Structure 1
Amino acid sequence: MSKTKLLLDVVEDMRALADSIKAVCDVVTEPETPTAKPEGTKEPEISLEEVRMVLADKSQSGFTGEVRDIIKKYGADKLSAVDKKFYADILKAAEVLGNG
């Protein structure tokens, strides 16, 4: 492997590390807002396909970078790697894209 290729790999790894550190910082610095749910009330399950459809629509509307940032905020490089407990939060974050 050439030295240039090795250096490029190191740079790519450093960028990924920086993105991961930023995601951790974002999560740590977010104010916690407890949400009280009445007992017996269950939120409807949101499927991966539903989230993927909304994010694909936002991406096609010119918000690809923002969609990528939303996914990275939850510690993943791709949507399928995000824990499904965050799907509702991801949809809320995607709603505001293009509305503000």
Structure 2
Amino acid sequence: MFELINSLNALTKAVGALTEKVTTEYLNTFEVLYDPETDEPQTAEASKEPPTPEPEKQAVTFVQLRSRLSEISRSGKTAEVKELIAKYGASKLSDIAESDYAAVLAEAEGL
């Protein structure tokens, strides 16, 4: 019975030590992430790395282009859509080069 009590006491001390260590580390981390002078919390990433530039715009896909041009065409601007496609040397939408998708979409938004 004494062995069980001694084991439980040792376990209690070990859990107490672990709790103290975790609590101390948590508080230390909080102090690193929180700057009371600026009164703003910081993320761990922000405190270690400089901000990264925004990624470039995503490429326009054929499906996105077709969808938008269809909407414009349905709104009564079918002739303008056909002219825009012809401007890029194509007789139909699928003939337009992928590299021109973004430019075509930008011009289509102006219609």
TM-score normalised by length of structure 2: 0.49
Q: Which runs of 5+ in 1 are unaligned?
A: 1-39
1:40-78 per-residue CA deviation (whole Å, 9 max, x = no partner) reads 954312110000000000000000000000000000001
Is the counterpart of residue 53 in structure 1 residue 78 in structure 2?
Answer: no
Deviation at residue 95 of structure 1 after TM alignment: 0.7
Q: Percent of counterpart pairs with the same letter?
A: 38
Is the counterpart of residue 96 in structure 1 residue 110 in structure 2?
Answer: yes
Q: Which runs of 5+ in 2 are unaligned?
A: 1-53
1:75 to 79, 84, 89: 89
1:3-53 per-residue CA deviation (whole Å, 9 max, x = no partner) reads xxxxxxxxxxxxxxxxxxxxxxxxxxxxxxxxxxxxx95431211000000
CA distance in 2, matches of 1:43, 1:91: 13
Letter in 1 for 2:97: D
After TM superposition, the runs of 4+ consecutive aligned structure 1 residues lying more than 3 A away are 40-43
RMSD: 1.8
Larger Rg: 2
SS of equivalent to 1:44: coil
Work out the number of aligned pairs and report it: 59
Higher relative contact order (CA 8 A, sep 6+): 1
CA distance in 2, matches of 1:85, 1:57: 22
CA distance in 2, matches of 1:42, 1:93: 19
